[in-house]
Amino acid sequence: MKASEKIKKADYTYDINTSKKDKKSTICLSVCHLISEISNIFLSTFLIAHIYSLTSNIYEYAKNVALYQFFTYLTMFVTYFIFSYFVDKTNRIWIYRLAVVFKTIFIIVAIFYGEDLAKIIILAGFLHGISHAAYYSSYNVLKQEMVSRKSIGNFTVIIKICAKSISVIFPIILGALIEISTFSLVAVYVFILSVIQLIISLFIKAKKPKNSSYQLLEYLKKLKTNPSVKNKFGSIYILALFYGFITAISALLSINIMMEFGSNFSLGAMTSIFALVSVMGLLLMNKFTKRGKRSWLYITASISLIASAILFACITNITTLIIYNFCFVLSEIVLGINFEVYRNQNIKEAGLYDDIAEHQTITECCMQIARMISFGILFIVSLIGNHFVFQFAFIIFILLFTIMAPILIKYEKQNSNQDSVKNQ
């Protein structure tokens, strides 16, 4: 066998000892993702706040938010399968670049409509959903192909820390800019960032592995018939389902902050302060605790979140909002980051390198199901227009999210037992 042929075959051998990694491409992918996090802050937190500024009725506002988010995740659910198919059949990076173009188009629509955005709320949700589907169907595969099996856990944590650090700085900047100018003008700045992201993505090199094929039905059969695959991945998909409820909780949090403070700058300041808390929490968790020995942390985070949510629902004021927000960001870190690590890590540990796209498709679609359910409920609640029902739905979403705690404990215990058996 020629040396060139050996190198060609090694390109997509995923083991850390034999794979050929392109560090420049990995760095460019990471930078692009962090730029995407900035635009996501604008298109979620501040777009929701902008919808609030277009109506004085809180339930009309909640209805618009629910419609926007429901159609975002409905579109994402439907189109994720389509984009995953093309991601696995073609060069992944072209779908990734297409996703950046879709998001840029969405930002242009936000600039053009400005104060009339509420009139096209369903179209806005559709555009956001299709850009999300194209982006995550390609990004989730690219990062797992570019980052080695041994490094994927640390990579996930580092990217999360960087993303949270961005969440400390940019909400204040975006909030202040919207206060002193307009939502549409700030959308122009975000548009420029998206163009920069597209340019950087041109330096990412990626290819379709030779043996790659998108066979979702075959993968589902494997989940049903192979006990080891079913045990390892079944819990991840259940975790993904309950993790999906965090999106509705975050949307309701933005609604409550706007109700209490009534300005984009205050929303940005609050978001930044608690993003800083989450960064500190993430660093402390990573330094002083180990995966597999965090049961007490999951339980503590869940109980404190439920208690603070009930307190906030019963006594709604700035103090209880701050207490709840503090508990929420810590729970998001404790439960969310561990789910993200296991989601990315287990497919490689199981050696199912040809099933990365299928695995990420099932994971994402489980989250979209929860998001569609939660925003469908929020839409119905907004039509009822009752404060008690509104707060009751909020508590239910919190309870559903914290179900992640016992599932994570069981998952870690199960994997610990399997590792012990292997070592023996």
pLDDT mean values, one per 10 residues, the chain (424 residues):
39 40 80 86 66 65 84 92 84 87 83 68 85 90 78 76 73 71 79 90 77 78 75 86 88 68 55 64 66 82 91 83 82 84 76 78 92 92 84 90 91 67 46
Q: What is the CATH number of the domain that holds 183?
A: 1.20.1250.20
142 domain-assigned: yes
4 domain-assigned: no
Question: What 3 state SS string does the chain have?
Answer: CCHHHHHHHHCCCCCCCCCCCCHHHHHHHHHHHHHHHHHHHHHHHHHHHHHHHCCCCHHHHHHHHHHHHHHHHHHHHHHHHHHHHHHHHCCHHHHHHHHHHHHHHHHHHHHHHHHHHHHHHHHHHHHHHHHHHHHHHHHHHHHHHHCCCCCHHHHHHHHHHHHHHHHHHHHHHHHHHHHHCCHHHHHHHHHHHHHHHHHHHCCCCCCCCCCCCCCHHHHHHHHHHCHHHHHHHHHHHHHHHHHCCHHHHHHHHHHHHHHHHCCHHHHHHHHHHHHHHHHHHHHHHHHHCCCCCCHHHHHHHHHHHHHHHHHHHHCCCHHHHHHHHHHHHHHHHHHHHHHHHHHHHHHHHCCCHHHHHHHHHHHHHHHHHHHHHHHHHHHHHHHHCCHHHHHHHHHHHHHHHHCHHHHHHHHHHHHHHHHHHHHC
258 domain-assigned: yes
5 domain-assigned: no
Please give the model's pTM, rounded to 2 decimal places.
0.78
| Confidence at residue 272, expressed as pLDDT on a 0 to 100 scale | 61
10 domain-assigned: no
95 domain-assigned: yes
| Confidence at residue 60, expressed as pLDDT on a 0 to 100 scale | 78
3 domain-assigned: no
| Confidence at residue 319, expressed as pLDDT on a 0 to 100 scale | 81
| Confidence at residue 268, expressed as pLDDT on a 0 to 100 scale | 53
399 domain-assigned: yes
Q: How many domains does the chain have?
A: 1
| Confidence at residue 239, expressed as pLDDT on a 0 to 100 scale | 93
Range of the domain at 105: 19-206+214-419
| Confidence at residue 211, expressed as pLDDT on a 0 to 100 scale | 62
